[in-house]
C-alpha cells in the first residue's frame, strides 16, 4: 500500500474523523477495503436502455419481465439439451408471469408435488446463474425478508456436493409440505427478473398515445435502479402538473386523439365532465371532421356515441389550446413563435386559410367560439372549463406522486459509463457547431444549455413563491414541448393546426433541426461528446425521439458506431411506419447488443400460449475483454472510497486519529 505523508493525513483529518464514524477501527476499515476491492473485480452489471414507451405498458412490462430476451438465452445456456424446447418455454413463461402461470398449472397438472420439486430446482439453477455477478450482500438486499435465509442457502449451496444434497432436498420438501411453494416460486421468479437487469435507462417519452403511462410510472416508481432523460411528452405532463394551461390543453388533446381518456379519468382522477358538457353543447351540429380518435389497438372497441363525444371534446380542447398558446406567444416575444398565431389567418367568408398571400383550402371552417375581431380570446364558457381542468390537474395526488418521481430520477441528460444519454436533440448550426440559444437574455449552448433548461424545469414545479423567473419557467415548459430551439423538440414547428384544418399536406411538414442529419457525422458526435466531458475509447451518444423506420432500411446505429437511436416505435401508432415495435439496447460485461422487438400481442397470450416477444439481437460492439466493475463509473467511485479508507488506515496507525473501540 502506497504510503501517504503525515502532512497530507493531517490536512484531511477533519474528513477522516467523519469517515471514522462509519469505520471505527483498523479492522472495520480493512474489511471494507477488502470488500470494495473484491467488488471491483466482479463483472459489470447489465444496463438496459429503452426510449419512447408512449404508454405501451404491456410491451414495457414484458420487456422487463423477459429482460429483452436475456432470460430465455440464459435458460437455453443452463439447460441445453437436458430440457426440451417446450420445457424451456414453460419455464420462461413461469419466470415472466409466475402468478398467472401457476394458476394455469394448478388447473392442468395432476401431480403438483412432483411439479413443484422439479420446478423449484430449475429456478434455483437459473437464480444461481443470474446472481453470480453480484456480491452476496447485494443479492441479500434484493430478497424479501420472509424467504431471505432460505434463498441464500439454496443459492450458495451446491446439490453436486453429496454432503449437501440431503440438506437441499429437505429444504425443497419442507417448502412444499408447508404449502409455501407458490409464494416461494413467485419470489424466485421476481428475483430472477430483478437480478437480470442491474440498471434501467429510460430515454424519455413515457406519456401519451398508449393506454398505460400511469401503469408504467407505477412500475418505475418501485423499480430498483433506474433513471429518466426527459422527453418532450414527459415535459408536457410536467408542465401540466406545474399549472401551465397550454400544457394541460395539449395533454387533453392527445388523450382525445388516441381515445385514452381513461388514463386521465381512471389513472389520474381528472374530471373531464366540464369539457364533455361544453363540447357536446358547442359542437352539437359539427361533424368534427379530422377529430375522430385514432384507436390503434384492434382489441379495443368504442361505441359510436363515445367516438362522437371524443371527437367533439377533441375539437373543443384543440381550439382552447390554440388560444392558450397564443397567450404565451404574445407574453413571451423572446420565444420567437409569432408565426404560430394562426387563428387570425382564417377567412371565414371565403372559408380559406390565408398565409403569405396564398389561399389554402380548409377541411372545416366551423369555429363557434372564435371571435373574428379577437380570435384568441377565451369565451366565458371556455374560461370556466380551463379553470376546472387546471384545478383537477394541479390537485391530482397520483399525478403529483408520479411527477415527483420523474423529477427525482430524471434530468435532461445523463453521462453514464462513457455514454451520453438524452432524448431528442442538441441544437446545432448547419456547420455542426453548437448553436447558441438565448434564455432570459443570456446565451447558452451544449452542456450549459441543457443544465439551464433542467434548472428552469425544476423551478417551474418546485419554486414556492411566484416570481418573474418562476412565471417564465412555467411558460418555458410549453416552449420545451414545441419550440424550435428546444433540445427536447428542435423542429421548425409542431403542425397541429395544419394537420387538423388544412388540406395541403405540404403545410403538415415539420422541418427537423440540423442535429437530426448532422448526427450521422462521426466528427459532430465527437464534438458533442467532448462538450459533455464523455471519455473512453468506446463512447457513444444514445437518443430516442425520432422513430427508426426499420421497414424502409433505416439503421439505429450511425456515425461509425458513435450514435445509437433506439426509438423503434414502442407505440402502436408507429407500427405501420417503423415495421417493428421498439428497441432495447443492452450493455453487459461483454459489450453492446441491440434487441429489435416485434409487436407484442398481450400478456394473456404470453401466459396461455407461451408467446414471447419475437426479438432479433444484433451485436453492436463486442469487447475483447470482459468489462469489470472497476471499468465503470461506479468502479471509479469505489476506487476513490478505497483511497480514502487507506488514508484512514494510515491515520489510525500513525496515531493521528484514534480508533473508536
5-25 pLDDT, tens digit per residue, is 777 777 788 899 999 999 999
pLDDT at 169 over 90: no
The strand ranges marked E within 126-225 are 199-202
User: Residue 415 and residue 536: Cα distance in Å, rounded?
Assistant: 12
Q: Which residues contact 598 (CB under 8 A, 6 or more apart)?
A: 580, 581, 613, 614, 615
Give residue for cell 453436486.
160
What number is the average pLDDT over the span 496-520?
95
Q: Where would I find the H helices in 492-600?
A: 496-501, 515-518, 522-531, 575-578
Q: Kindly list the domain boundaries of the chain, sorted by start residue.
A: 6-42+632-654, 47-203+544-627, 232-400
User: Residue 276 and residue 274: Cα distance in Å, rounded?
Assistant: 6
For 529, the 3-state DSSP assignment is helix
Distances (CA, A) of 15 to 19, 574, 645, 657: 6, 54, 11, 11
106-127 pLDDT, tens digit per residue, is 998 889 999 999 999 999 999 9
Exposure string over 112-135, b if 16+ CB within 10 A, otherwise e: eeebbbebbebbbebbebbbebbe
Specify the pTM: 0.92
User: Please, are residues 573 and 599 in contact by the beta-carbon 8 Å criterion?
Assistant: no
pLDDT at 546 over 90: no
Supply the pLDDT for residue 493.
95
Supply the pLDDT for residue 443.
97
Closest CA to 456 of 434, 436, 471, 441: 471
385-400 pLDDT, tens digit per residue, is 999 999 999 999 999 9
For 640, the 3-state DSSP assignment is helix
Q: Which of 48-57, 112-121, 482-491, 622-631 has the lowest mean pLDDT?
A: 622-631
Supply the pLDDT for residue 136.
86
C-beta atoms surrounding 246 within 10 Å: 28
The number of C-alpha atoms within 13 Å of 589 and in the hemisphere containing its C-beta is 18
Closest CA to 381 of 323, 427, 308: 323
For 51, the 3-state DSSP assignment is coil
User: Residue 33 and residue 22: Cα distance in Å, rounded?
Assistant: 13
What number is the average pLDDT over the span 187-208?
94
53-85 pLDDT, tens digit per residue, is 999 998 899 889 988 888 998 999 999 999 999
Amino acid at each position: 500500500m502506497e504510503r501517504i505523508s503525515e502532512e497530507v493525513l493531517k490536512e484531511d483529518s477533519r474528513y477522516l474523523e467523519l469517515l471514522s464514524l462509519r469505520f471505527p477501527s483498523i479492522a472495520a476499515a480493512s474489511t471494507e477495503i477488502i470488500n470494495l476491492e473484491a467488488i471491483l473485480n466482479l463483472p459489470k452489471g447489465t444496463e438496459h436502455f429503452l426510449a419512447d414507451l408512449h404508454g405501451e405498458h404491456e410491451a414495457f412490462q414484458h420487456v422487463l419481465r423477459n429482460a429483452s430476451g436475456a432470460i430465455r438465452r440464459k435458460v437455453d445456456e443452463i439447460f441445453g439439451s437436458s430440457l426440451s424446447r417446450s420445457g424451456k418455454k414453460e419455464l420462461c413463461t413461469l419466470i415472466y408471469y409466475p402468478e398467472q402461470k401457476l394458476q394455469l398449472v394448478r388447473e392442468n397438472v395432476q401431480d403438483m408435488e412432483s411439479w413443484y420439486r422439479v420446478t423449484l430446482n430449475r429456478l434455483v439453477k437459473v437464480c444461481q446463474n443470474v446472481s453470480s455477478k453480484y456480491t452476496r450482500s447485494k443479492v441479500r438486499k434484493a430478497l424479501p425478508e420472509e424467504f431471505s435465509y432460505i434463498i441464500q442457502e439454496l443459492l450458495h449451496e451446491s446439490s453436486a456436493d453429496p454432503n449437501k444434497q440431503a440438506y437441499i432436498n429437505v429444504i425443497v420438501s419442507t417448502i412444499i409440505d408447508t404449502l409455501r411453494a407458490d409464494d416461494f416460486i413467485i419470489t424466485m421468479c421476481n428475483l430472477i427478473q430483478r437480478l437480470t437487469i442491474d440498471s434501467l435507462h429510460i430515454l424519455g417519452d413515457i406519456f401519451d398515445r398508449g393506454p398505460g403511462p400511469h401503469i408504467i410510472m407505477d412500475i418505475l416508481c418501485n423499480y430498483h435502479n433506474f433513471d429518466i432523460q426527459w422527453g418532450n411528452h414527459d415535459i408536457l405532463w410536467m408542465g401540466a402538473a406545474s399549472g401551465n394551461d397550454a400544457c394541460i390543453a395539449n395533454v387533453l388533446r392527445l388523450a382525445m386523439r388516441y381515445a385514452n381518456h381513461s388514463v386521465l379519468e381512471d389513472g389520474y382522477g381528472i374530471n373531464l365532465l366540464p369539457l364533455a358538457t361544453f363540447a357536446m353543447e358547442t359542437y352539437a351540429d359539427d361533424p368534427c371532421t379530422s377529430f375522430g380518435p385514432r384507436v390503434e389497438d384492434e382489441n379495443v372497441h368504442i361505441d359510436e356515441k363515445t367516438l362522437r363525444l371524443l371527437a367533439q371534446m377533441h375539437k373543443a380542447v384543440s381550439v382552447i389550446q390554440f388560444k392558450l398558446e397564443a397567450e404565451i406567444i404574445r407574453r413571451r416575444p423572446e420565444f420567437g413563435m409569432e408565426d404560430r398565431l394562426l387563428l387570425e389567418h382564417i377567412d371565414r367568408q371565403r372559408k380559406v386559410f390565408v398565409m403569405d398571400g396564398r389561399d389554402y383550402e380548409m377541411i372545416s371552417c366551423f369555429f363557434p367560439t372564435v371571435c373574428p375581431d379577437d380570435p384568441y380570446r377565451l369565451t366565458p364558457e371556455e374560461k370556466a372549463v380551463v379553470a376546472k381542468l387546471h384545478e383537477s390537474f394541479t390537485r391530482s395526488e397520483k399525478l403529483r406522486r408520479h411527477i415527483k418521481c420523474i423529477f427525482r430520477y430524471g434530468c435532461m441528460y445523463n453521462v453514464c459509463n462513457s455514454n451520453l444519454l438524452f432524448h431528442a436533440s442538441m441544437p446545432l448550426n448547419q456547420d455542426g457547431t453548437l448553436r447558441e440559444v438565448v434564455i432570459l437574455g443570456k446565451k447558452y449552448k451544449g452542456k450549459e444549455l441543457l443544465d439551464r433548461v433542467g434548472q428552469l424545469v425544476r423551478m417551474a414545479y418546485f419554486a414556492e413563491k411566484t416570481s418573474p423567473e418562476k412565471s417564465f419557467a412555467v411558460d418555458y415548459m410549453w416552449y420545451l414541448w414545441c419550440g424550435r430551439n428546444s433540445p427536447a423538440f428542435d423542429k421548425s414547428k409542431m403542425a397541429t393546426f395544419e394537420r387538423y384544418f388544412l388540406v395541403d399536406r405540404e403545410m403538415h411538414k415539420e422541418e427537423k433541426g440540423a442535429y437530426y442529419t448532422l448526427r450521422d457525422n462521426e466528427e459532430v458526435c465527437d464534438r458533442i461528446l467532448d462538450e459533455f466531458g464523455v471519455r473512453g475509447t468506446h463512447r457513444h451518444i444514445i437518443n430516442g425521439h425520432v422513430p427508426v423506420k426499420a421497414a424502409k432500411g433505416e439503421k439505429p446505429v450511425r456515425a461509425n458506431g458513435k450514435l445509437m437511436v433506439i426509438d423503434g416505435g414502442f407505440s402502436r401508432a408507429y407500427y405501420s411506419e417503423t415495421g417493428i415495435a421498439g428497441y432495447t439496447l443492452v450493455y453487459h460485461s461483454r459489450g453492446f447488443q441491440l434487441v429489435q422487438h416485434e409487436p407484442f400481442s398481450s400478456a394473456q397470450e404470453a401466459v396461455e400460449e407461451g408467446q414471447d416477444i419475437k426479438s432479433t439481437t444484433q451485436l453492436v460492439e463486442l469487447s475483447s475483454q470482459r468489462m469489470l466493475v472497476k471499468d465503470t463509473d461506479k468502479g471509479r467511485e469505489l476506487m476513490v472510497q478505497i483511497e480514502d479508507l487507506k488514508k484512514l488506515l494510515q491515520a489510525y496507525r500513525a496515531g493521528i486519529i484514534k480508533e473508536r473501540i
